[in-house]
């Protein structure tokens, strides 16, 4: 059924304009610094967990800052410390932006929920009025056939959990159905054996239609900290 959720202070047009200006400024900076990683580079990347970050910091404190003689010829103390500071600044900026993005994602989920409730109410009236109004009856049927087709077999999605940075393979997927993220993590899906360029990103609390030929897919949680959850239709 759904329940309308109150929004005490919705963002207004002037505020959106301010956000757009700030976003453009940030985008100009990140676009200039952006790095395009090739497929081969992606497969050779060293994943640095929170635990391994501790190792980097200990090497800095116990070795780099105290035993410069242990530095390789192509790694300087200044260069290493600059890299440590750069990573820290990137993480600080990322955390600040992610916090605000998380708030926007919740606002989107709430706004779409409230809008869907109104849409359902309109469609209820369309069906009622369609009993005596053929034009509305045809409109209602067309919309219902498109977005609520009568299906056979599996009519309910199955929910799965996926941990941070976890990759799983799901067989027996019903193509043409929705793959829906149910948590804050950003997920990606790709047909097994597919080209990495065909990867589909699934933003938090959003969904995508699984391509018609994708019956076996690889699902990846791209978040390093957020657990993921998704609904999928399987045979």
Domain match, 136 and 204 both: no
Give backbone dihedrals phi and psi of 199, rounded to 5 degrees, phi first.
-60, 135
∠117-119-122 over CA atoms, to 5°? 115
Instruction: Give me the helices (H) in the chain, please.
Output: 13-33, 39-44, 50-59, 77-129, 134-147
Number of domains in the chain: 2
Domain match, 105 and 191 both: no
Beta bridge partner(s), residue 48: none
Q: pLDDT tens digits for 186-209?
A: 999 999 999 998 999 998 888 899
For the residues of 167-192, what is the DSSP string, one character each? EEEE-SB-TTSEEEE-SSS-EEEEET
pLDDT of amino acid 153: 47
- Specify if 92 maps to a domain: yes
Domain match, 107 and 80 both: yes
Domain match, 94 and 176 both: no
Domain match, 129 and 186 both: no
**Span 72-84, mean pLDDT?**
96
Beta bridge partner(s), residue 181: 230
pLDDT of amino acid 180: 92
- Specify if 80 maps to a domain: yes
Domain final residue, candidates 125, 150, 175: 150
190 touches 173 (CB < 8 A): no
Does pLDDT of 124 surpass 60? yes
**Span 29-34, mean pLDDT?**
96
Q: pLDDT tens digits for 129-162?
A: 999 999 999 999 999 888 776 544 455 789 999 9
Does pLDDT of 28 surpass 50? yes
- Specify if 192 maps to a domain: yes
Domain final residue, candidates 150, 173, 188: 150
| Other Cβ atoms within 10 Å of 203 Cβ, number | 15
| Other Cβ atoms within 10 Å of 122 Cβ, number | 12
The overall average pLDDT reported for the chain is 91
Domain match, 52 and 144 both: yes
Domain match, 188 and 218 both: yes
| Other Cβ atoms within 10 Å of 105 Cβ, number | 16
Does pLDDT of 122 surpass 50? yes
Domain final residue, candidates 126, 150, 174: 150
pLDDT of amino acid 149: 63
Instruction: Report pTM.
Output: 0.63
State the pLDDT confidence band at 24, using cuts at 50, 70 and 90: very high
- Specify if 33 maps to a domain: no
- Specify if 32 maps to a domain: no
**Span 210-231, mean pLDDT?**
93
**Span 14-30, mean pLDDT?**
97
pLDDT of amino acid 155: 57
- Specify if 171 maps to a domain: yes
∠107-112-116 over CA atoms, to 5°? 155
Instruction: Give the range of the structural domain holding residue 191, as residue numbers without chain letter.
Output: 158-232
């Amino acid at each position: 059924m759904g329940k309308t959720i109150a929004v005490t202070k919705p963002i207004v047009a002037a505020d959106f304009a301010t956000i757009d200006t700030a976003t453009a400024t940030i985008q100009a900076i990140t676009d200039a610094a952006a790095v395009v990683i090739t497929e081969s580079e992606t497969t050779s990347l060293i994943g640095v967990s929170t635990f391994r970050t501790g190792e980097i910091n200990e090497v800095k404190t116990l070795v780099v800052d105290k035993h410069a003689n242990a530095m390789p010829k192509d790694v300087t103390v200044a260069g290493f410390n600059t890299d440590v500071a750069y990573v820290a600044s990137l993480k600080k900026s990322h955390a600040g932006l992610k916090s605000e993005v998380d708030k926007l994602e919740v606002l989107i989920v709430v706004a779409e929920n409230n809008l869907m409730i109104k849409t359902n109410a309109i469609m209820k009236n369309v069906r009622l009025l369609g009993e005596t109004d053929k034009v509305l009856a045809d409109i209602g049927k067309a919309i219902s056939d498109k977005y609520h087709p009568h299906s056979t077999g599996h009519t309910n999605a199955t929910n799965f959990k996926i941990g941070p940075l976890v990759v799983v393979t799901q067989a027996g997927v019903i193509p043409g159905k929705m793959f829906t993220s149910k948590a804050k993590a950003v997920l990606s899906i790709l047909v097994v054996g597919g080209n990495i360029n065909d990867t589909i990103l699934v933003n938090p609390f959003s969904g995508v239609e699984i391509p018609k030929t994708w019956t076996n897919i690889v699902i990846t949680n791209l978040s390093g900290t957020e657990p993921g959850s998704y609904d999928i239709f399987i045979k």
